[in-house]
Structure 1
Amino acid sequence: MGPSANTSDFNGWVAHDPSAAEGKMEWGTYQPKAFEQTDIEMDISHCGVCGSDIHTLRSGWGPSEYPLVVGHEIIGKVTRVGKDVKDLKVGDRVGVGAQSECCESCRPCKMQQESNCSKMTMTYGGRHSNGDKSYGGYAKSWRGPAAFAIPIPEGLPSEFAAPLMCGGVTVYNPLITYGAGPGKRVGVVGVGGLGHFALLFAKALGCDKVVAISRSSSKKEDALQLGADEFIATGEDPEWTTKNASSLDLIISTVSGSFPLDQYLNLLDVNGTFVQLGAPDDPLPSFSPFSLILRNLKIAGSLIGTRQHIQDMLELAKKTELKAWVQVRPMEEANQVLIDFEKGLPRYRYVLKN
């Protein structure tokens, strides 16, 4: 049944300071949140590696609260269930994404838009409503609210399901929200962890045209295999923005570096939408509002996704036999995986396996 005492130590990769991002996490014990009757525990089988993990380890988005265990693409088997949990049982295979608790009372929560909760608990590096720290999935076990543990459909392999819990839903949400599907032309900026999911899902949703957009053509063959119909290499063709003007209805931007926003807006047709997912350290460059006004364009942002998004996405992934491009690595190699991730080696997601 798993640990019985509320304060049982768990084992995982613990970060003690920002140097952990350079492959200096230490395997050791840490104290998870106190077990409440609305919680579950699981034995972790797989945990995806997300760029957010490294940003948080190095305190890149503001000071992180150490000690810290990262990882928010967690798959495992339930080993303990609180008395108040009605819909999960010991032995169920579940996944936990980037969010593990919401306040249930703010306006977004009441609108079933809990991924924008004003007091959300992030799966690691946050605080639960009882005041305890939240710890992630680079570990043997996970303990947390059952409400954010999503059953994984039978037949969907855990190594594919893991990176869907954050990377997958982060692109699935805006694709669905802004109408991707038959009749729509979708562009994806950046062929990386998120971008590869955006191409896979745009294709799975039946979009009329899917275009991969990257600085160089080094990933062109990959993009075409992932479902892209066309490829634009912005660094290799000075005329790329005029040649492809007004050719897309929706652009999903997954890149975190600086980029010429006005040139990307030029690719959108009337009523088109540009959605930014990547979180650059620096502000985006300015652009002329006329590009918005003359063609009724919208610029949007999107953050992870709701539990309903995750459930719907997992069903679509199962139905279409969607296969994430993952490289499974042993949990013991987590430090080396971080180093390899920073070198840009994953094609296109690393998944740690216990």
Structure 2
Amino acid sequence: MAKSLESEHPIKAYGYAARDSSGVLSPLTFSRRATGEKDVRFKVLYCGICHTDLHFVKNEWGISTFPAIPGHEIVGMVTEVGSKVDNFKVGDKVGVGCLVGSCRSCQSCANDLENYCPKQILTYGSPYYDGTFTYGGYSDHMVANEHFVLRWPENLPLDSGSPLLCAGITTYSPLRHFGLDKPGLKVGVVGLGGLGHVAVKFAKAFGAEVTVFSTTPAKKQEALDGLKADHFIVSKDPEQMKSVAGSLDGIIDTVSATHPIAPLLSVLKPSGKLVLVGIPQKPLELSAFSLIMGRKIITGSAMGGMKETQEMLDFAAEHGITADIELIPIDYVNTAMERVFKSDVRYRFVIDVANSLKTA
């Protein structure tokens, strides 16, 4: 007989879970494994709400397992370390992002690209090495192998810094990998949401001239005055799009809704790069002609490996980059999910887990 969630591991845990694809979250008692010799256990202090969490709890990609405890923008304080842990001690501030495991032996892992390991283990909803499923940061505590635990910079705020563990690395990584991190380059950011606003901050810190593309004219002041973008274009206005045709070195497209790609390709210079980091539910329509005429590139990028994620956190701390957040108690999470669906947040919800999750 299969063990219950409360008894499959020896350490009692408590969190908020979706039981089915309705996506409604409610308290759940479950369990986590004992601290292994290379494990770090920590009390969860804050956890960001990513749009991926919403996709997963509603099973919009058809891959979800239930019950599902989401959350992969997790910051906490170490409460216990295994006997062979080298880099952390009790009391340290730490973070866990999108990954808690990988094969550690493939070419991707050898090149510090655990995020592209074919056997990667996601922070929630993935089978772990022992066959049990992973549960995320909408919970009172976590345990993870130290390789997948990040050192938290001393001067980086815990609450507004937590979204960097997904939104931050998901935009920082393509800027770095595709060479869009050089001063003077002209970089576009499509969508001014949880990912987009952080992408603007990183691109500006790299010295780029940044153009924000949005379907919402009302976001112009936020983009130019609040985030210090250089230009704002209403992407559904053909005249505004024509005014920047062929002008950008690269674009980071953060939009997770289905949207036209051809207009974005038109604003790239020859050999320009359109990098997708949002995940629309429907396939994108793409004309080969729009790529061939200009030798343009359309590509994608998924978060980053552990080494690069640590690099990103240190860069953010050095340049004062955090997410703009709305801090919420965990019992507001269902309302927050509804607001995420409506894009009604500026720009990231963060759950104050330690101060609002009352254990059973």
RMSD across aligned positions (CA)? 1.5
Q: 3-state DSSP class of the match of 1:188?
A: strand
Separation in 2 of the partners of 1:343 and 1:282?
A: 18
Cα 1:342/1:290, change in 2 over 3 Å: closer
Other structure's SS at 2:188 match: strand
Indicate how the Cα distance of structure 1 residues 153 and 55 shifts in structure 2: closer, same or farther if over 3 A, else same: same
Cα distance, 1:133–1:33 mapped onto 2, change above 3 Å: farther
Equivalent in the alignment of 2:14: 11
1:177 paired residue number? 177
Cα distance in 2, alignment partners of residues 169 and 334 from structure 1? 24
Indicate if the aligned counterparts of 2:43 and 2:141 stay in contact, CA closer than 8 A.
yes
The runs of 5 or more residues in structure 2 that have no matched partner are: 1-7, 355-360
AA partner of residue 306 (structure 2): R
- Using the aligned pairs only, state the percent identity: 39
Matched to 1:291, the amino acid is S
Q: Is 1:85 matched with 2:85?
A: yes
Q: Following TM superposition, by how much is the alpha carbon of 1:292 offset from its aligned partner in structure 2, in angstroms?
A: 2.2
Confirm or deny: 8 A CA contact 2:49 2:351 kept in the other structure.
Answer: yes
Paired residue secondary structure (1:201): helix
TM-score by length of 1: 0.94
Q: Distance in 2 between matches of 1:280 and 1:290?
A: 22
Task: Letter of the 1:226 partner, please give it.
Answer: L
Classify the secondary structure of the residue corresponding to 2:112: coil
Instruction: Give the drift of 1:344.
Output: 1.9
Q: TM-score, normalising length from structure 2?
A: 0.92
**8 Å contact 1:74–1:162 — kept in the other structure?**
yes
SS in 2 for 1:351: strand
Q: Which amino acid in the other structure matches residue 189 of structure 1? A: V
Aligned partners of 1:307, 1:112: CA distance in 2, in Å? 7
Taking the aligned partners of 1:147 and 1:259, their CA distance within structure 2 comes to 37
Change (3 A) 1:33 1:52: farther
Cα shift readout 1:168-202 (whole Å, capped 9, x = no counterpart): 10000001111122021000011111111111111
Conserved? CA contact 2:234–2:241, under 8 Å: no
SS of the equivalent of 1:31 reads: strand
Residue 275 of structure 1: aligned partner: 275
> Which AA in structure 1 matches 2:345?
P
1:144 lines up with 2:147 in the alignment: no
The separation in 1 between residues aligned to 2:238 and 2:26, in whole angstroms, is 47
One-letter amino acid of the counterpart of residue 347, structure 1: R
Report the 3-state secondary structure (helix = DSSP H, G, I; strand = E; otherwise coil) of the residue aligned with 2:192: coil
Alignment of 1:159-198 (within 5 A): 159-180=159-180, 181-198=182-199
Partner of 2:357: none
Equivalent residue, structure 2, for 1:234: 235
Report the Cα offset of residue 34 of structure 1.
Answer: 4.8
Q: How does 1:1-354 map to 2 (within 5 A)?
A: 6-19=9-22, 21=23, 24-180=24-180, 181-207=182-208, 209-224=209-224, 225-235=226-236, 237-287=237-287, 289-353=288-352, 354=354
Contact 1:45 1:75 in 2 (8 A): yes
Cα distance in structure 2, aligned partners of 1:226 and 1:47: 23
SS at match of 2:86: coil
When residues 77 and 191 of structure 1 are mapped into structure 2, their CA distance, relative to the original with a 3 A threshold, is same
Structure 1 spans left out of the alignment, 5+ residues: none
Is 131-140 or 30-39 further displaced after alignment? 30-39
Q: Please tell me whether the aligned partners of residues 211 and 231 of structure 1 are also in contact (alpha carbons under 8 angstroms).
A: yes
Aligned counterpart, 2:4: none
1:14–1:30: 8 Å Cα contact kept in structure 2?
A: no
Q: Give the number of aligned pairs.
A: 344
3-state SS, counterpart of residue 18 of structure 1: coil
Q: CA deviation at 1:297?
A: 1.4
Alpha-carbon distance between aligned partners in 2 of 1:35 and 1:6, rounded to the nearest angstrom: 11
